[in-house]
Every structure is written in C-alpha cells, then in structure tokens.
Chains A and B, each alone.
Chain A
Amino acid sequence: KNEVEQSPQNLTAQEGEFITINCSYSVGISALHWLQQHPGGGIVSLFMLSSGKKKHGRLIATINIQEKHSSLHITASHPRDSAVYICAITLMASAGGTSYGKLTFGQGTILTVHP
C-alpha cells in the first residue's frame, strides 16, 4: 500500500464548478505538499502546509493531522485549471534532520475542466 493515496484518480468538471481533491497518508509527516503539473510537463509547488488551511487565489488547501488527511479545493474552476494535481509528503524528520524537499508522492489526480 502506498504511503500517500489520492482520490479521485480522474476528475472531470464543468467550468465554474467547485472541485475537491483528497489526499490520505499513513505515516507521520513534517509537511504536506500540493503540486500542479501542466500538460506541458512542468511542475509547480502550490502549497506546503503542516497544519490548518492555506489559500491562494481560487485554491484552498486544508490538512487534518489527526486524521492524516488533506484536501485541495478549487473554487470557480476554469479550463486553465486542467492539470495533474499531486499530493506529496515530507516524512517526520529523523534525528539528523531532513529537508522538506525529500518527498514521497501520491499517484496524482488528473483534472479536466470543460468550458
């Protein structure tokens, strides 16, 4: 079983719809990341969070540490939001410390927003 599980694997929406992508993990973490990969292949870091909620424009990310669960929400979705959204975790730091960039990835959610 993967340490990071995302759902759904594929998501199709109409422009303007509210979208939620879920991420569950099974280990202790230092941080959770949401990444966006465009059809051209480039990867952009959307959020890094260890508690609570973050918002950037139409994107909102939440995390519940006790339940080991995070959600990424997109409000008023637009065709340009079509991309693969990847959840990734940084495992709890070892005694020697670790970089927040040492990531374990989910399998990604393919989002398609139709006009």
Chain B
Amino acid sequence: DAGVIQSPRHEVTEMGQEVTLRCKPISGHDYLFWYRQTMMRGLELLIYFNNNVPIDDSGMPEDRFSAKMPNASFSTLKIQPSEPRDSAVYFCASSRRRANSPLHFGNGTRLTVT
C-alpha cells in the first residue's frame, strides 16, 4: 500500500499563473477529499468526491478553484489564476465507503504564490 500520493511536494509560482495539484488515492478507496491548511484558518475541506463524482464543493473558495476526478486513481485541484492568498498546504485524503473507515492523508503540497 503506497498510501495517498500527492505531487508536487512544493510549488512556487507567480501571481496570475495556473497551478495544478495532483493526487493519487489509495486503490479501492471510494472517497477523495481535498483540504487546505493555512496559519490563519487551519484545516478546511475544499471539496470531496464519491466514486469520482463531486459531492460537496461548498468549501471551494471561489471560481478560480476547480477540481476534477477523471478516474478512480487520479484527481486534480487547479487554481487559475493564482493569487498570493492561495499560499497554503493542500492535502489530499482518501477513505473507503465503510463506516468507521479512517482517512488516509497524502503528504501535502506546499504552494507559495509570490
């Protein structure tokens, strides 16, 4: 079990550029979550998918953010255009459908927008 894999680990970009974060969930997991962590707001849920379908995107801050899950083994979170206030650590997590199944987190992508 390779765990949840995120890439890149670090991303530094200039304001206005497009940023794409990637996530590979654990095989067999039905749910995939994108979280964001900042010093000011802590951890927040952005969006989650069930069987590749977005279920709740109420945490996505604005239209500049979009997320896709084209298949069970891959998801992307895109920010276009990026702004300095988007600087944060973005975590992907996955879990099985069963009740009491724990969340498994990736190592996160640290995004810095200058």
Chain A residues in contact with chain B, CB under 8 A? 31, 33, 40-45, 48, 50, 86, 88, 98-108
Number of chain B interface residues as a range:
20 to 34
Contact of B100 among A48, A98, A102, A106 (CB under 8 A): A48
Taken together as a complex, chains A and B put the C-alpha atoms of A75 and B114 apart, in Å, by 44
Taken together as a complex, chains A and B put the C-alpha atoms of A108 and B93 apart, in Å, by 18
Classify the secondary structure of B's interface with A.
Answer: strand
B87 vs chain A, min Cβ distance (A): 14
Cβ–Cβ contact A102 & B56, under 8 A? yes
Interface check B50, CB cutoff 8 A = yes
Cβ–Cβ contact A105 & B103, under 8 A? no
Give the A-B pair count, Cβ closer than 8 A.
58
Cβ–Cβ contact A105 & B43, under 8 A? yes
- Which B residues from 83 to 114 make CB contacts under 8 A with A? 89, 91, 93, 95, 99-105, 107-108, 110
Taken together as a complex, chains A and B put the C-alpha atoms of A98 and B95 apart, in Å, by 13
A30's nearest neighbour on chain B, judged by CB, is B99
B98's nearest neighbour on chain A, judged by CB, is A100
B6 vs chain A, min Cβ distance (A): 10
A-B contact list, 13 entries, CB within 8 Å: A41-B89, A41-B108, A43-B93, A43-B108, A45-B103, A48-B103, A86-B43, A98-B56, A99-B31, A99-B55, A100-B99, A100-B101, A102-B33
**Cβ of B108: which chain A residues have Cβ within 8 Å of it?**
41-43
14 new A-B contacts, CB < 8 A, other than A44-B105, A100-B101, are A31-B100, A86-B43, A99-B31, A99-B48, A99-B55, A100-B100, A100-B103, A101-B31, A101-B33, A102-B33, A102-B45, A103-B45, A103-B103, A107-B42
**Cβ of B14: which chain A residues have Cβ within 8 Å of it?**
none
Interface check B44, CB cutoff 8 A = yes
Task: Known contacts A43-B91, A86-B43, A107-B42; decide if A102 and B103 are in contact (CB<8 Å).
Answer: no
**Cβ of A31: which chain B residues have Cβ within 8 Å of it?**
100
Contact of A43 among B55, B100, B105 (CB under 8 A): B105
**Cβ of A50: which chain B residues have Cβ within 8 Å of it?**
100
Taken together as a complex, chains A and B put the C-alpha atoms of A95 and B56 apart, in Å, by 14
